């Protein structure tokens, strides 16, 4: 098992205001929320999922001064996640309103704060902090920002080859300018997206076919994961010409908020441990399945919980038990 790696998030940790509703309101309508919570969210979910599986995790993003920034920093500290940048004094961290319906599906509205106003000096500090063998997670939420996107795109494109880059394009991928997205795709070692995002990027609805199209947009040897919720994911591994289905784990979902982040965080943590792409994808499917059985965004499992679902043989191979 490898232990000389870190999962480094180049993205946003913001605050999630999570409101459970019976159904989404019609346009101009209103519904009464049944439960409300305030959490650190966004990239926090990915970092937490990786950290709980034993990876060293680092937040290489912006955070502000104010109640939301304080919540973000205290939450990161509680999970043992390191920080690269100091707090910004010119504003607070942004937030996201997440509406979760009775079926566990979620709808988001995001309002960014200082996290959308990166400087060239901050970008240089982030680049200098990245080490050999790090797994750098890049979020489409950062790339879509008018200021941050071009800075981070150029930075990622210049990262050393011994740094593994994973791009999660996020729900706003269709709004990322091509001149920002394409250099990151060209540098990425892994692309992890859900089926909707894959469709937006390719125009192809079927996940396996979308993965095939995406493979043509990335450099030789890059891998692709197209997440398909309860159906698991589709995997294009770097060492295989085939696109294979990795089955999911049937569970009773109560809250899907953060499931994709849990999948990405677990996938990177397991890759860092030395797992094969298929083993890491199967473990990530299990992590996402466990995450949706719990309320809240940062619900990735511990190593012991993941081992219990995967079984002794797989867990032993992954170094989980």
Structural domains in the chain plus CATH codes: 6-11+43-93+116-317 (3.40.1190.20)
Q: Which of 37, 124, 139 is nearest to 85 (CA)?
A: 124
Mean pLDDT (the chain) is 93
pLDDT digits (tens, 9 = 90+) for 45-89: 999 999 999 999 999 999 999 999 999 999 999 999 999 999 999
At residue 321 the predicted structure's pLDDT band, cuts being 50, 70 and 90, is low
Whether 3 shows a pLDDT value over 70: the answer reads no
pLDDT for the residue numbered 253? 84
The HSE-up count of residue 49 (CA atoms within 13 Å, CB side) is 37
Query: What CA–CA distance (Å, rounded) separates 279 from 314?
Result: 8
pLDDT for the residue numbered 119? 97
pLDDT for the residue numbered 138? 97
Phi and psi dihedrals of 23, rounded to 5? Answer: -155, 160
pLDDT for the residue numbered 167? 98
What predicted TM-score, i.e. pTM, was given to this entire model?
0.91
Query: What CA–CA distance (Å, rounded) separates 300 from 50?
Result: 8
> Cβ(232)–Cβ(287) under 8 Å?
no
At residue 313 the predicted structure's pLDDT band, cuts being 50, 70 and 90, is low
pLDDT for the residue numbered 298? 81
> Cβ(161)–Cβ(184) under 8 Å?
no
pLDDT for the residue numbered 212? 95
pLDDT for the residue numbered 1? 46
Whether 256 shows a pLDDT value over 80: the answer reads no
pLDDT for the residue numbered 18? 87
């Amino acid at each position: 098992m490898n232990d000389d790696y870190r999962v480094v998030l180049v993205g946003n940790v913001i605050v999630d205001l999570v409101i459970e509703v019976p159904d989404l309101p019609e346009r101009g309508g209103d519904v009464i929320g049944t439960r409300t919570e305030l959490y650190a969210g966004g990239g926090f979910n990915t970092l937490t999922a990786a950290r709980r599986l034993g990876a060293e995790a680092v937040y290489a993003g912006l955070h502000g001064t104010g109640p939301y920034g304080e919540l973000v920093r205290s939450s990161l500290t509680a999970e043992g996640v390191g920080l690269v940048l100091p707090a910004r004094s010119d504003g607070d961290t942004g937030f996201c309103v997440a509406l979760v319906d009775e079926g566990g599906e979620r709808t988001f509205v995001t309002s960014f704060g200082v996290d959308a106003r990166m400087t060239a000096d901050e970008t240089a500090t982030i680049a200098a902090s990245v080490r050999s063998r790090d797994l750098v997670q890049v979020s489409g939420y950062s790339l879509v920002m008018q200021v941050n996107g071009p800075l981070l795109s150029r930075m990622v494109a210049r990262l050393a080859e011994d740094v593994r880059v994973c791009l999660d394009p996020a729900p706003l991928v269709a709004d990322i300018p091509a001149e920002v997205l394409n250099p990151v795709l060209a540098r990425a070692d892994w692309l992890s997206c859900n089926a909707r995002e894959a469709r937006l990027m390719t125009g192809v609805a079927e996940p396996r076919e979308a993965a095939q199209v995406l493979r043509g947009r990335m450099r030789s040897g890059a891998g692709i994961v197209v997440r398909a919720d309860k159906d698991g994911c589709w995997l294009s591994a770097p060492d295989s010409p085939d696109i294979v289905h990795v089955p999911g784990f049937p569970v009773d979902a109560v809250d899907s908020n953060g499931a994709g982040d849990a999948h990405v965080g677990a996938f990177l943590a397991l890759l860092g441990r030395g797992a094969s792409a298929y083993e890491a994808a199967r473990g990530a499917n299990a992590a996402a399945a466990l995450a949706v059985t719990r309320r809240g965004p940062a619900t990735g499992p511990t190593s012991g919980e993941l081992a219990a679902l995967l079984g002794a043989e797989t867990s032993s191979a992954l170094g989980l038990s």
